[in-house]
Each structure stands twice: as C-alpha cells, then as structure tokens.
Amino acid sequence: MKIVGVLCAFVFIIVTGAECAKILGVFHLAGKSHYMACSTLMKILAEKGHDVTVVAAFKEKNPPKNYRQIYLDGLYEQTSAQSINLFETTSFAAITPIVFHFISNMFQEMAFNHTVFKEFMKTNEKFDAVIVEEFQSEAIKYVGHHFNAPLIVYSAMDAGDWTNPFQGNPDTPSYHPCTALPHLTNHMSFLERVENTLYYTYNNIFYHLISFPSQNRLLHRYYPDAPHLKDIAYNVSLVLLNTDPSVHEPIPKVPSMKDIGGFHIRKPKPLPEDLQKILDNAKHGVIFFSLGSNVKSKDMPKEKRDFILRKFSKLKETVIWKFEDTELPGKPDNVIIRNWLPQNDIFAHKNVKLFISHGGLYSTMEAVYHGLPVMALSVFAEQELNGKRAESNGFARHIRFQQLTETSFSEILDDLLSDPKYRENAKKRSGIMKDKPMDPADAVNFWVEYVVRHRGAPHLRSAALDLEWYEYLLIDVVLFILTMAGAFLFTVVYLYKLWSKRRSSIKEKKN
Ligand SMILES: *[C@@H]1O[C@H](CO)[C@@H](O)[C@H](O)[C@H]1NC(C)=O
C-alpha cells in the first residue's frame, strides 16, 4: 500500500507538477441512483491515482485501489422504510419547495446523527478537497470547512436554483424554466413567463426565509462551533454539473461551474455469457425496458402491466425487462426478465434498437451516448422534464406513465420502431455528446486537481457573491437614478414657474 502511494505521488508530481491528492466524498443521500453516480465520480479519481475516501449509505463489493469506504449502515433501510410506491405519487409544483425542504433536512440530519459519521468527523484527518452532492442541501457543506479543505459540489442537474445562488451565476427565469414546472420549455409565451417568474420568486422567498435558516439551525444543533451557514454555503470552489449540450439547453455558467455530463458512462465491459447469447440471437432486434433503480417495475399497476405484456407478445423483437421479481404471470416467450442488468454494456450491443425508460437523466444520457431512440414513461421528479426535452430533440416520445393507455402505448411503440427519424436524431445527439475537447471523466479529474493545485481556486469566484441581492439586481442604482431624475425634473419645473411668475408681474407693472 505504502509503495503504491509513493509511486503514485511520484508519477503525479512528474505528470502534473502536483502531489497525489487526498480527496473526501461525502454522499449523504440514501438514493441508489445518486450514490451510483457519485461513487463513479470517486472511482474515476481513484483510478487516476488519488487517495479517495467515500462516506455513503451504500458500499462497493469490489472497490478499486486507493478507495476507502466509510459506510453509513442502516441509512438506506431507514429511508426506504418511509418510502412510498412511486407509481402512486402526484406532484404539485406549489408544494415542491416544501417537500424538498423536509426531504433535504431529513437526509442531512440522518447523516449528522449517524454514529459512524460522528466518529469520522472526530478524526483529525487532512484532505486536499471535499466533494458533496447538491440536493438543496447546504448544511452538509460544513464538512469542507470542518476538514479545512476546498469544497467541490457535484450536482446531478443542470445549473439552477440549487446551485446558482451559491456561485453568483445568473438566474434567467425569462428563458430557463424552473425544474418544478416541467410543462415549460426554454421558449415561453408571455403567460408562461409570468407563471415561471411567480414560481421562481415564491421558491426563492421560501428557500431564503425558511429553508436556509432552518438548515443553519440544523448545522448548529450538531456543530455548535460552526460559522454561520452563509460563510460556508457561499464558499464553494467548484460545481461539477451533470450537464451536456446533447440533452440540455444552453444557459450561462460562471467559470466555477463545469459541465461533466456523461462522465458516468464507462467503457462497456463484456456481457455475461447468457445475455451475450440472447442479444446475439435476437435477429429482429432488442427492446430494453427499465424504469431505473428507484421505480420498481414489479409495483406497476396490474392493468398497465397486462396491456404492456399483451403488446410485447405481438412483437417480433426480443424484450429485455429489468423486473424485480422472479415471477411475471402472463410473460410471453420473447420477454426476458432479470432483477438486475448491466444497462450500459447492453446498450453497446448492435442489436439493441429501442429503450423504454422512466426518463431518468443518467439513463437518458446513456441512450444518447449509444444513439438509441427512447420511449420515456416519466413517473416522478424531473423525469417529465427529461422526457420532454428528449422528445423535442427528436429521438424520443414522451408520455407520463400515469396517462399511459393500451392504445397510446401501442401507437408510440409502433411509431418508434417504424420511423427511422428517431434513430437518425439519436445518432446526431450521440455525435454532439462525443464531440468535446476532453473526455468527461478526464474533465472531472482535471478540475478536481485544478482546485487542489490552486488551493480552492479563489480566482474563479464571481464578484456577484459579494453583493447584496438588491445591489445585484441594481435596485439601489435604479432607485438612485429615478430619484435624481425626479429631483432634476422638479427643479426645472419649479424654476420655470418662478420665472413665468416674475415675467407676468413685470408685465403687470409695465401696464
Ligand atoms: C472558504 O474556502 C477557502 C478555500 O478553500 C478557505 O481557505 C476558507 O477557509 C473557507 N472559509 C470558510 C469560512 O470555510
């Protein structure tokens, strides 16, 4: 171990002029898809030779070298005990900020309260950088301050209300819809802009008056000596965004925000023998069906499951379905079910021709990378937004799962399988995703090293962060200019009146 460390430091110094860094990742969210992306990010850094420590609610069976795990056991069970059947959830934009407020505080408090976490925070370890995941979660950023290391934030979403305020990045409600309003696009009508602006304002007021102060109190309950949360939350060196122009709209980003979308897509590994055979033998092609790691296909309403199976039984194609049960009554012969499937490795097979998905961002990006058309059946959270974007980019059809009927399912599936435009557009998008100066995994490593090399890279910090909100919005300046203009106008009118009065009194005297 020591020798590896010395060797790694040696190579690192020669190649980059910096030392082999000690990087801490604290991923307090007990959600599987969140963890999978974050652990991939840390694995990339470990593979590049850094000494990586990961605090999380999940554990790797075969961690790579230089990858130490601090496992918060029981956290996942604790949250999933409270979880609900996601097929039955409905979402109202108006309560979204309140829901996120409670979820975010719950996750953070569960981590702060965990014995393993508490013990870890008592150690006097030194780190060169700390990475946390953004989930409207500011209190957890304290870990960076605690270990006296520059803080890097990873966000599974594009720049938005979760990250913008803390980097001084321009918010643009005039053409960037809030995530909680998935029916809006970047091209909004007047009334849609009114709706977006009202929601944006409400969300901001709620966050800054209720959520943020409550997170500050939460932090000080566990760490009474911590500085005010303002001094921590607005002191983020770098934000890594899971964003790519192939799936997201262009919006402004200050230099401390970097797009690294697609970093989670690793080189395909060889398939297990049985799957390889199934894919090789599917001469009419393969439809891959998975609703991701949070939504369980086995919990799907029976009526919907039945008509989906009825449609599949009429197809020539082979369907591979990630289904979390060993039994699927009425399963036709061309449908293969498995509890778990190596999605990205399967996508790399030439016989796969369609992906039926929940519209999760990581999955959508994998489909784009491999140039696959998508049927997006959104269930919850930002899946509807991803599905709509994919549809407007021409490689997908989107419908909310709750609205799916036998007729619509059949019509959409036939359309996607028969019209070549979906495949062509998917290939175009794939070309966009692959056309970049640096592989996203290398970009992750570059920017983390950059922050380490430049000790937090304060030169990237936007001056917007040092302004009060009314200064940033120029409200003080506008008021000042209006007042001056008013005073000037008043003076002119007053002097004119004075002058005309005098003139008339002179005239009177003359008469
Ligand atoms: C803010 O970040 C810089 C760079 O990492 C660090 O030196 C400073 O101590 C941080 N401030 C606080 C209050 O944590």
325 part of a folded domain? yes
**CA torsion 107→108→114→119, rounded to 10°?**
150
236 Cα: distance to centroid of ligand 1 (angstroms): 8
Q: Residue range 270-277: average pLDDT?
A: 96
pLDDT digit string, tens, across residues 381-394: 789 999 999 999 99
Whether 443 and 376 share a structural domain:
no
Whether 30 and 100 share a structural domain:
yes
pLDDT digit string, tens, across residues 198-218: 999 999 999 999 999 999 999
State yes or no: pLDDT of 14 exceeds 60.
Answer: no
Give the length of the chain. Answer: 511
Q: Whose CA is nearest to atom 5 of ligand 1?
A: 150
Whether 184 and 317 share a structural domain:
no
Whether 391 and 453 share a structural domain:
no
Exposed/middle/buried for residue 228 (C-beta within 10 Å: 0-12, 13-18, 19+): exposed
Pairwise CA distance, residues 238 & 154, whole Å: 8
Q: Does residue 64's CB lie within 6 angstroms of at least one atom of ligand 1?
A: no
Domain termination residue (choose one: 382, 415, 434): 434
7 part of a folded domain? no
pLDDT digit string, tens, across residues 217-235: 999 999 999 999 999 999 9
Atom of ligand 1 nearest to the CA of 235: 1
162 part of a folded domain? yes
State yes or no: pLDDT of 439 exceeds 80.
Answer: yes
Q: Does residue 231's CB lie within 6 angstroms of at least one atom of ligand 1?
A: yes
Whether 73 and 209 share a structural domain:
yes
List own/partner pairs for 156-160 with CB under 8 A and 24 or more apart.
156/34, 156/37, 156/242, 156/361, 156/362, 157/241, 157/242, 157/243, 157/361, 157/382, 158/241, 158/242, 158/243, 158/248, 158/251, 159/239, 159/241, 159/243, 159/251, 159/253, 159/257
Helices and strands (H and E) in the chain: how many: 20, 13
Q: Which residues contact 491 (CB under 8 A, 6 or more apart)?
A: none
State yes or no: pLDDT of 10 exceeds 60.
Answer: no
Confidence of residue 54 (pLDDT cuts 50, 70, 90): very high
Q: Residue range 257-263: average pLDDT?
A: 98
Whether 135 and 245 share a structural domain:
yes
2 part of a folded domain? no
Q: Does residue 232's CB lie within 6 angstroms of at least one atom of ligand 1?
A: yes
pTM, full prediction: 0.92
109 Cα: distance to centroid of ligand 1 (angstroms): 23
Q: Does residue 150's CB lie within 6 angstroms of at least one atom of ligand 1?
A: yes
Whether 222 and 250 share a structural domain:
yes
Whether 67 and 191 share a structural domain:
yes
pLDDT digit string, tens, across residues 355-366: 999 999 999 999
State yes or no: pLDDT of 86 exceeds 70.
Answer: no
State yes or no: pLDDT of 108 exceeds 70.
Answer: yes
Q: Does residue 456's CB lie within 6 angstroms of at least one atom of ligand 1?
A: yes
What range defines the domain where residue 363 resides?
273-434
Whether 355 and 427 share a structural domain:
yes
Q: Does residue 145's CB lie within 6 angstroms of at least one atom of ligand 1?
A: yes
Q: Residue range 408-432: average pLDDT?
A: 98
21 Cα: distance to centroid of ligand 1 (angstroms): 18
Q: Does residue 393's CB lie within 6 angstroms of at least one atom of ligand 1?
A: no
485 part of a folded domain? yes
510 part of a folded domain? no
User: CB-side exposure of 217: number of CA atoms within 13 Å?
Assistant: 7
Note the pLDDT of residue 17. 47
With CA atoms as reference, report the closest residue to 129 among 153, 151, 102: 151
State yes or no: pLDDT of 1 exceeds 50.
Answer: no
Q: What is the mean pLDDT of the chain?
A: 93
Note the pLDDT of residue 360. 92
Q: Whose CA is nearest to atom 14 of ligand 1?
A: 145
**How far from 403 is each of 230, 235, 395, 449, CA to CA, in Å?**
43, 44, 21, 47
256 Cα: distance to centroid of ligand 1 (angstroms): 15
With CA atoms as reference, report the closest residue to 398 among 357, 436, 363: 357
- With b for 16 or more beta-carbon neighbours within 10 A and e for fewer, the 373-399 pattern comes to bbbbbbbbbbbbbbbbbbbebebbbbb
138 Cα: distance to centroid of ligand 1 (angstroms): 15
260 Cα: distance to centroid of ligand 1 (angstroms): 24
With CA atoms as reference, report the closest residue to 98 among 231, 230, 209: 209
User: CB-side exposure of 347: number of CA atoms within 13 Å?
Assistant: 26
Note the pLDDT of residue 173. 94
150 Cα: distance to centroid of ligand 1 (angstroms): 7
Whether 142 and 45 share a structural domain:
yes
Note the pLDDT of residue 67. 97
Task: Evaluate the CA torsion angle 242, 246, 250, 253 in order and state its sign.
Answer: positive
The SS3 assignment for 436 reads coil
Note the pLDDT of residue 96. 86
Confidence of residue 415 (pLDDT cuts 50, 70, 90): very high
> At CA 123, angle to CA 120 and CA 127, rounded to 5?
90
489 part of a folded domain? yes
Pairwise CA distance, residues 64 & 441, whole Å: 16
pLDDT above 70 as % of the chain: 94
Provide φ and ψ at 418, rounded to 5°: -100, -30
Q: Which residues contact 150 (CB under 8 A, 6 or more apart)?
A: 128, 129, 130, 144, 237, 238, 451, 452, 455, 456, 457
209 part of a folded domain? yes
The residue to mutate among 235, 238, 465, having the most atoms of ligand 1 within 8 angstroms of its beta carbon, is 235
Number of domains in the chain: 3
Pairwise CA distance, residues 69 & 116, whole Å: 11
Q: Does residue 235's CB lie within 6 angstroms of at least one atom of ligand 1?
A: yes
State yes or no: pLDDT of 59 exceeds 90.
Answer: yes
Whether 358 and 234 share a structural domain:
no
Atom of ligand 1 nearest to the CA of 145: 14
Whether 287 and 217 share a structural domain:
no
CATH number at residue 366: 3.40.50.2000
Task: Evaluate the CA torsion angle 428, 431, 435, 440 in order and state its sign.
Answer: positive
